[in-house]
A and B are shown apart, each in its own frame.
Chain A
Amino acid sequence: MLSADFVIATAVGYVGLLFVLAYFGDRQARRNKRSFLHSPAVYTLSISVYCTSWTFYGAVGNAARSGLEFLTIYLGPTLVFVGWWFLLRRLVRISHMQRITSVADLLSSRFGKSNRLAVLVTCIAVVGIAPYIALQLKAVTSSIQAVAGSSEFGQGALRGIDDVGLAFGVAAGMALFTILFGTRHVDAKEQHHGVVAAIAFEAVVKLTALVAVGVFVVFVGGGLEAIFVEAAAKGVAIDAHDTFDARWMTTLALSVAAIVCLPRQFQVTVVENSDENHLRVASWAFPAYMLAMSLFILPIAVFGLSRMPAGSNPDMFALTVPLAFNQNGLALLAFIGGFSSATSMIILESIALSIMVSNHIVMPLVLRFGADRTDRKEGVTRLLLMARRFSILLILTLGFFYFFFTRDSDALAPIGLISFTAIAQFFPAVIAALFWRDASRKAATAAIAIGFVFWVWCSFLPSFTSVSLDIAWLLLHGPFGVPWLRPEAMFGLEGFDPLTHAVFWSLSSNILVLVLGSLLTTQSALERLQANVFLDVFRRGSTRVESIALGSATANDLFFVAERVLGQQRAAALFEAEELDIGRGEGAQEPTSAFIGRLERELAGSIGAASAHVMLSKVVSGSEVSLEEVMQMAGETRQVIEYSQELERTSTELRSTARQLEAANAQLRELDSQKDEFLSQVSHEVRTPMTSIRSFSEILLDDQELEANKRQRFVATIHQESLRLTRLLDEILDLSALERGERNWEDGIVDPDAALQRAITVSEALLRQRKVAVQWGPRATSAAVLGDEDRLCQVFINLIVNAVKYNTASVPVLLVSSLSGGGRFRIDIADNGPGIALEDRAIIFEKFARGRRGGADQTGAGLGLAISRQIVARMGGTLELVPGPLSGACFRVTLPLNAVQ
Chain B
Amino acid sequence: MPSGSKLRGGMLLLTVLGALLMMPPLAYVFDQDLVHFGVPQVVFYLFALWLVLIVGTAVLAHKAGPDDIAASGEADR
| Residues of A that sit less than 8 Å from B by CB | 68, 71, 75, 78-79, 81-86, 89, 92-93, 95-97, 224-229, 232, 238, 240, 243-244, 248-249, 252, 275-277, 280-281, 283-284, 287-288, 291, 295, 298, 543, 598, 601
Q: List 12 A-B contacts (CB under 8 A).
A: A78-B54, A79-B22, A89-B69, A96-B73, A224-B38, A225-B39, A229-B38, A283-B61, A284-B54, A284-B55, A287-B50, A298-B43
Are B38 and A283 in contact, CB atoms less than 8 angstroms apart? no
Are B40 and A249 in contact, CB atoms less than 8 angstroms apart? no
In the complex, residue of chain B having the shortest beta-carbon distance to the beta carbon of A229:
B38
- Count: A-B pairs, CB below 8 Å: 118
Given contact pairs A81-B57, A280-B61, A284-B55, enumerate 17 new A-B contacts (beta carbons under 8 Å).
Answer: A68-B46, A71-B46, A82-B11, A82-B57, A92-B73, A93-B73, A97-B73, A224-B37, A228-B39, A243-B42, A244-B24, A248-B24, A276-B69, A276-B72, A277-B72, A283-B57, A287-B53
Are A277 and B66 in contact, CB atoms less than 8 angstroms apart? yes
Chain A residues near B8 (CB-CB < 8 A): 85
CB distance from A218 to the nearest CB of B (A): 12
Q: Whole-angstrom distance between the alpha carbons of A194 and B32 in the complex? A: 49
Are A284 and B38 in contact, CB atoms less than 8 angstroms apart? no
Chain B residues near A283 (CB-CB < 8 A): 57-58, 61
B53 touches which of A78, A89, A243 (Cβ 8 Å): A78
Chain A residues near B11 (CB-CB < 8 A): 82-83, 85-86
Chain A residues near B46 (CB-CB < 8 A): 68, 71, 75
Are B43 and A78 in contact, CB atoms less than 8 angstroms apart? no
B40 touches which of A95, A229, A238, A598 (Cβ 8 Å): A238
CB distance from A231 to the nearest CB of B (A): 8
In the complex, residue of chain B having the shortest beta-carbon distance to the beta carbon of A231:
B38
Q: Whole-angstrom distance between the alpha carbons of A249 and B20 in the complex? A: 11
Interface size classification for chain B: 35 or more
Consensus secondary structure, chain A interface: helix
For chain B, residues 59 to 77, give those with C-beta under 8 angstroms from any C-beta of chain A.
Answer: 61-62, 64, 66, 69-70, 72-76
Q: Whole-angstrom distance between the alpha carbons of A243 and B57 in the complex? A: 26
In the complex, residue of chain A having the shortest beta-carbon distance to the beta carbon of B77:
A598
In the complex, residue of chain A having the shortest beta-carbon distance to the beta carbon of B62:
A280
CB distance from A176 to the nearest CB of B (A): 34
CB distance from A599 to the nearest CB of B (A): 13
Are A78 and B50 in contact, CB atoms less than 8 angstroms apart? yes
Are B61 and A228 in contact, CB atoms less than 8 angstroms apart? no
In the complex, residue of chain A having the shortest beta-carbon distance to the beta carbon of B8:
A85
**Contact flag A224-B57 (CB < 8 Å), given A277-B69, A280-B66:** no
Q: Whole-angstrom distance between the alpha carbons of A79 and B27 in the complex? A: 15
Chain B residues near A93 (CB-CB < 8 A): 69, 72-73
In the complex, residue of chain A having the shortest beta-carbon distance to the beta carbon of B14:
A82
**Contact flag A86-B15 (CB < 8 Å), given A277-B66, A291-B47, A291-B50:** yes
CB distance from B3 to the nearest CB of A (A): 14
Chain A residues near B73 (CB-CB < 8 A): 92-93, 95-97, 276
Chain A residues near B54 (CB-CB < 8 A): 78, 284, 287-288, 291
Are B22 and A228 in contact, CB atoms less than 8 angstroms apart? no
Are B38 and A232 in contact, CB atoms less than 8 angstroms apart? yes
CB distance from A538 to the nearest CB of B (A): 9
In the complex, residue of chain B having the shortest beta-carbon distance to the beta carbon of A298:
B43
Are A543 and B53 in contact, CB atoms less than 8 angstroms apart? no
Are B19 and A284 in contact, CB atoms less than 8 angstroms apart? no
Q: Which of B11, B22, B46, B51 has the most CB of A within 10 A?
A: B22
Q: Whole-angstrom distance between the alpha carbons of A288 and B66 in the complex? A: 21
Are B12 and A86 in contact, CB atoms less than 8 angstroms apart? yes
Chain B residues near A68 (CB-CB < 8 A): 42-43, 46
CB distance from B2 to the nearest CB of A (A): 14
In the complex, residue of chain B having the shortest beta-carbon distance to the beta carbon of A543:
B76
Q: Whole-angstrom distance between the alpha carbons of A224 and B18 in the complex? A: 27
Query: Counting CB contacts under 8 A, is B1 at the interface?
Result: no
Chain B residues near A229 (CB-CB < 8 A): 38
Are B43 and A75 in contact, CB atoms less than 8 angstroms apart? no
Q: Whole-angstrom distance between the alpha carbons of A240 and B36 in the complex? A: 13
In the complex, residue of chain A having the shortest beta-carbon distance to the beta carbon of B67:
A277
In the complex, residue of chain B having the shortest beta-carbon distance to the beta carbon of A602:
B77
Chain A residues near B37 (CB-CB < 8 A): 224-225, 228
CB distance from A57 to the nearest CB of B (A): 21
Chain A residues near B42 (CB-CB < 8 A): 68, 240, 243
In the complex, residue of chain B having the shortest beta-carbon distance to the beta carbon of A299:
B39
Chain A residues near B74 (CB-CB < 8 A): 96
Chain A residues near B66 (CB-CB < 8 A): 277, 280
Chain A residues near B39 (CB-CB < 8 A): 224-225, 228, 298
* Closest 6 pairs (CB-CB, A-B): A96-B73, A228-B38, A83-B15, A240-B40, A284-B58, A276-B72
A82 touches which of B56, B64, B70, B75 (Cβ 8 Å): B56
Q: Whole-angstrom distance between the alpha carbons of A626 and B59 in the complex? A: 50
Are A75 and B22 in contact, CB atoms less than 8 angstroms apart? yes
CB distance from B50 to the nearest CB of A (A): 5
Are B23 and A284 in contact, CB atoms less than 8 angstroms apart? no
Q: Whole-angstrom distance between the alpha carbons of A887 and B3 in the complex? A: 72
Q: Whole-angstrom distance between the alpha carbons of A715 and B37 in the complex? A: 137
Chain B residues near A225 (CB-CB < 8 A): 37-39
CB distance from A74 to the nearest CB of B (A): 8
CB distance from B5 to the nearest CB of A (A): 12
